[in-house]
Structure 1
Amino acid sequence: MSSTIQFDRQPDPGLYNPDLAPVPKEKRNWSWLNYSTIWMGMVHNIVSYELAGSLIGLGMSAWQALAVVIVSNIVLIGAIWLNSVCGAKYGLPFPVLIRAAFGYKGAHVPVLIRAFVAIFWFSVQAYAGSKAVGAVIGLIFPGWISLGTIHLLGASLNDLISFAIFWLVHAYVILHGMERIKSFELWAGPLVIVLGLGLVVWAIHAAHGLGPIFSVRATLSGGHFWGTFFLSVSGMIGVLASLVLNIPDLTRFAGSQRDQIIGQAVGLPVMMTFFAFMSVVITSGTVIAFGKPIFDPVQLLLHFKNPIVVLLGAFSLLIATVSVNVVANVVSPAYDLTNLLPRKLNFVKGGMISILIGVLFAPWAWYNNSNSILSVIGAIGGTLGPVAGIMIADFYFIHRRIYDVESLYSKEGAYTFRQGWNPQAFIAMILGIIVALIGLFVPALHALYAYNWFLGVGVGAVAYIALMRIVRGVNHSNTIIPTTNLETVSLQQDEI
């Protein structure tokens, strides 16, 4: 990304390059439609489908499963909206904005944690999508299945080949930069809806109407149900919790605050609930049609024994997975790594390094162990929750929605703290993580783990506000006022 921004003082080259610079006002051209389709691509994916469908497998009714999705999406959109404003206001990405709370050196810690989580999710999504690649190849080449008897690096040879092919598709999209990603999302997200609607029609036909689907009884009740309900909500939030942090990476391109607010409202809670509704209906239909819940969409497609259905369905799943993986799990670590080495890296190089590291997670070795996936996802949400709470608290309560943009690129500015580190932010983050995850390690407090994301956000935010006001006395009278007069960061822009 090129930038025409002119600073009053020279940005430190260790904190700045064109990909980390504020997006000029004339290049902020993403409309509400772009954000809607981007979110469609991020929520319409195999892992989201399987997680929503697995709620039926946990013993919930269709209505209870939908309630989990609705509650989690209401919470998510609220947190995402709160953290979207600063990105759209200043045109800055997450790795730069986080410097205001953690310091220019300290920011590397949450940035690298966020990058690590995103790369982990890249490997998960890439392996899930590669299953669709294998299904298509198996239709074309009958001998494909025989390669499953050959094992290498802990995986069958056909799985490794499928993964490699799918990895190359990601590399192709990344190499063409953010503009190609924006164009790709315009048609990738809606395509999956077409596949989902087709499967919904099949499920309703197989069940002889919606009535039987929604009459399937739940096997959970009382305290067991509520514990599972809130743990599932935390798990659903955990799938997209990392986006709460790096949503400025996307909203920095917004034409206005209204564009990002409306676009994300349509794209996340509305489309995620609709997608989950389709997943729940389809999974409930498989219980009636096959006697067991099938929440792996690739396995469901193979049950149809129809090459055309499998080919079209697999293609849709491939596009869906590339869509979510690039936007949710590559854009962020690409900026994160660029922030770490701004002199040597840019967006494309950072993205390619991210997907190379993703291979090292070897997802084929553990992906099918579904017994602990909800707990793992919840732990991810609990770890990132405190950082989200700190970011939101810093922008709205400590700095009152006003950042000194030039200081974010300086080692001697308003966010230097103690030689680039803000101890208060780290204390708040550690406290938030401890409270969020304590239920995993202390049996007597296990019930708290169902609320881990909420506890992490709340404790992180409250502790940070208290520590900052006690140690530094930040209040209305000494809120930091920006010294820059850049048009692109005008305080009046897009205020609502």
Structure 2
Amino acid sequence: MRKGEAFDPTLYNEDLAPIPRERRNWSWVNYSTVWMGMVHNVVAYTTAAGLVAAGMSPWQALGTVAAANVILILAMWVNSIAGAKYGLPFPVLLRAAFGYRGAQVPVIIRGFVAIFWFAVQTYLGSLAVGLILGTFIPGWSSLDVSILGMGLNGWISFLIFWGLHAYVIFHGMERIKFFELWAGPLVIVAGLVLVGWAVSVAGGVAPLFDQPSRLAPGEFWPLFALSVTALVSVWSTLVLNIPDFTRFSRSQGDQMVGQAIGLPLTTIIFSFMSIAITAGSTIAFGRPISAPDQLLLAFDNPAILLIGAATILIATLSVNVAANIVSPAYDLVNLFPRRLDFVRAGLISILIGFLFVPWLWMDNPETIFAVLGYIGGALGPVAGIMIADFYLVRRRNYDLASFYDRSGQYAYRSGWNTKALIATALGLAVAFVGLVVPPLSGLLAYTWFLGLAVAFVAYAALMRSESRPAAEAEPAMEIADELG
């Protein structure tokens, strides 16, 4: 009998077990293409392009994106090492800091946010489906009969796009890996074509980036702070669950190099393209158009509309599967290990996505920066606690068996570590104090940073008496092979 078979079935199953060495086959190429597939999405495009629409010059917008991504890659690296070392997913690693029961609190929050994003991205992708169907079906626009706040044609598009997600999920993580391998590069190629158009209408690259800022003196830095927080918050969910991906890595070098290529480098290139395209739309159409679907309609060309909409569809499907389904799937498996596996949990996650009715709140796109900031503020404390626990409390060493043992060192008091919950509450309180204390409303521009920093310090201080490394009788990889 393998060791894993003796563990508590409420804490252990095949999807939650450490990945054995022979199954850790993701190379730096896989991580690069996975990130390429994730950063090329409508929200990222709209957010970067929206900086120009909000009044920044193209260079100011690009600098803002670069600053946010330097912060992001550092956070990703810091929180990805444990996953690559032990082959464990995010919800299992959380047990070390929160306890096996307490970990369910941040797991539920993280899953809630991921499914929220799934719903948003699915709605945005369904707009591309609608553009494609409208090109081929006469009278498509006449189906705009409202049902629960969305037209019948919108519902048809939404259900078709939702079904594509179900198809990819049904084939598990390996299908996801190979789908991302070609989807990310394809979107880059399509984006370069639009950049070529923007350069053509502007008469060169220089005119695109010579457009001046429209911000009044003193307006840039407040917008910069809000925008950096929003851009970081777009990926605040992945900062937490990056171990769900790095657990498959052949080595620490593979995941770190792959992420460095795929996240900051590709994001800056993609943002450069979106900013250049938006600047080109200002020249071509007299106004900055930051929404991709509206830009395609502005061309009034069926061929461009069809190719562009197909690209948006692939890009959105790519990011949604990797960023917004993998995590809640593992989260649900962690909650119900005896009843769910990855595929079932993924299908349940996308069913729950309907409940967020994204077509209703997306009618107010001007709130996107505030929404992104609040999401980051909610998840920042959990990231701070995970980092403090692994590096300061555990000294980068975990006791693998205790993750699946109700009497192990991560059991705390009946599975609850109240110190982690207190640190989380303090981080949330400081991050959102501006909502209830108007004079401090300026702090809302830094929600993710405040939540992470306060929870990090509070958790490290509260756990100071317990800061000791776990005993490692065997190398982590060998233990993972045995447990897996």
Q: Same fold (TM over 0.5)?
A: yes
| Aligned equivalent of 1:415 | 410
Distance 2:437 2:397 in 1: 41
Amino acid at match of 2:264: P
**Are the structure 2 counterparts of residues 366 and 487 from structure 1 closer, same or farther at C-alpha, using a change threshold of 3 Å?**
closer
Structure 1 residue 232 corresponds to structure 2 residue 222: no
Structure 1 residue 135 corresponds to structure 2 residue 131: yes
Structure 1 residue 58 corresponds to structure 2 residue 54: yes
| Aligned equivalent of 1:344 | 339
Distance 1:169 1:487 in 2: 36
**Are the structure 2 counterparts of residues 267 and 487 from structure 1 closer, same or farther at C-alpha, using a change threshold of 3 Å?**
closer
**Are the structure 2 counterparts of residues 487 and 381 from structure 1 closer, same or farther at C-alpha, using a change threshold of 3 Å?**
closer
Distance 1:177 1:157 in 2: 31
Pick aligned residue for 1:375 from 358, 370, 373: 370
Distance 2:5 2:174 in 1: 30
CA contact (8 A) 1:404 1:484 kept: no
Aligned-pair CA distance for 1:307: 2.0
Distance 1:409 1:198 in 2: 51
CA contact (8 A) 1:32 1:264 kept: yes
Distance 1:224 1:453 in 2: 21
Pick aligned residue for 2:281 from 286, 305, 309: 286
Aligned-pair CA distance for 1:288: 1.1
Distance 2:229 2:12 in 1: 36
Pick aligned residue for 1:43 from 25, 35, 39: 39
Aligned-pair CA distance for 1:294: 0.6
| Aligned equivalent of 1:494 | none
| Aligned equivalent of 2:419 | 424
Pick aligned residue for 1:107 from 103, 109, 112: 103
| Aligned equivalent of 1:152 | 147
| Aligned equivalent of 1:481 | 471
Aligned-pair CA distance for 1:416: 0.6
Structure 1 residue 68 corresponds to structure 2 residue 58: no
CA contact (8 A) 1:91 1:489 kept: no
Distance 2:143 2:4 in 1: 62
Distance 1:6 1:284 in 2: 60
Aligned-pair CA distance for 1:483: 5.2
Aligned-pair CA distance for 1:366: 1.3
| Aligned equivalent of 2:380 | 385
Aligned-pair CA distance for 1:317: 1.1
| Aligned equivalent of 1:91 | 87
Structure 1 residue 357 corresponds to structure 2 residue 370: no
- Residue-by-residue CA offset, 1:406-438 (whole Å, 9 max, x unaligned): 100110001011110001101111111111111
- Residue-by-residue CA offset, 1:78-108 (whole Å, 9 max, x unaligned): 0010010000000000000000000000000
CA contact (8 A) 1:89 1:489 kept: no
- Residue-by-residue CA offset, 1:350-381 (whole Å, 9 max, x unaligned): 00000000011111111120121110110000
CA contact (8 A) 1:334 1:348 kept: yes
Amino acid at match of 1:375: A
Amino acid at match of 1:184: F
- Residue-by-residue CA offset, 1:161-207 (whole Å, 9 max, x unaligned): 10000000000000000000000000000010011101101111111
Structure 1 counterpart SS, 2:3:
coil
Q: For residues 184-203 of structure 1, what are the structure 2 equivalents within 5 Å? A: 184-203=179-198
Q: How many residues align?
A: 481
CA contact (8 A) 1:405 1:484 kept: no
- Residue-by-residue CA offset, 1:215-266 (whole Å, 9 max, x unaligned): 2111224432111101000000111100000000000000100000000000
Output the TM-score relative to the length of structure 2.
0.97
Distance 2:5 2:280 in 1: 63
Distance 1:443 1:354 in 2: 37
Structure 1 residue 219 corresponds to structure 2 residue 214: yes
Structure 1 residue 22 corresponds to structure 2 residue 12: no
Distance 1:271 1:6 in 2: 42
Pick aligned residue for 1:174 from 158, 169, 177: 169
Output the TM-score relative to the length of structure 1.
0.95
Pick aligned residue for 1:33 from 29, 36, 44: 29
Distance 1:361 1:409 in 2: 33
Pick aligned residue for 1:312 from 292, 303, 307: 307
CA contact (8 A) 1:61 1:216 kept: yes
Structure 1 counterpart SS, 2:208:
helix
- Residue-by-residue CA offset, 1:305-347 (whole Å, 9 max, x unaligned): 2222222211111111111001100000000000000000010
5+ residue gaps, structure 1, are 492-496
Structure 1 counterpart SS, 2:367:
helix
Structure 2 counterpart SS, 1:142:
coil
**Are the structure 2 counterparts of residues 489 and 247 from structure 1 closer, same or farther at C-alpha, using a change threshold of 3 Å?**
farther
Distance 1:159 1:447 in 2: 38
Structure 1 residue 405 corresponds to structure 2 residue 405: no
Aligned-pair CA distance for 1:488: 3.7
Distance 1:64 1:110 in 2: 35
| Aligned equivalent of 1:82 | 78
CA RMSD of aligned residues (A): 1.5
Distance 2:437 2:71 in 1: 27
| Aligned equivalent of 2:459 | 464
Structure 2 counterpart SS, 1:303:
helix
Aligned-pair CA distance for 1:482: 3.9
Distance 2:136 2:360 in 1: 26
Distance 2:242 2:2 in 1: 25
- Residue-by-residue CA offset, 1:5-49 (whole Å, 9 max, x unaligned): 942882110001101110010000000000000000000011100
Amino acid at match of 2:331: D
Amino acid at match of 1:108: Q
Distance 2:368 2:473 in 1: 48
Task: State the percentage of identical aligned residues.
Answer: 59
Aligned-pair CA distance for 1:489: 4.4
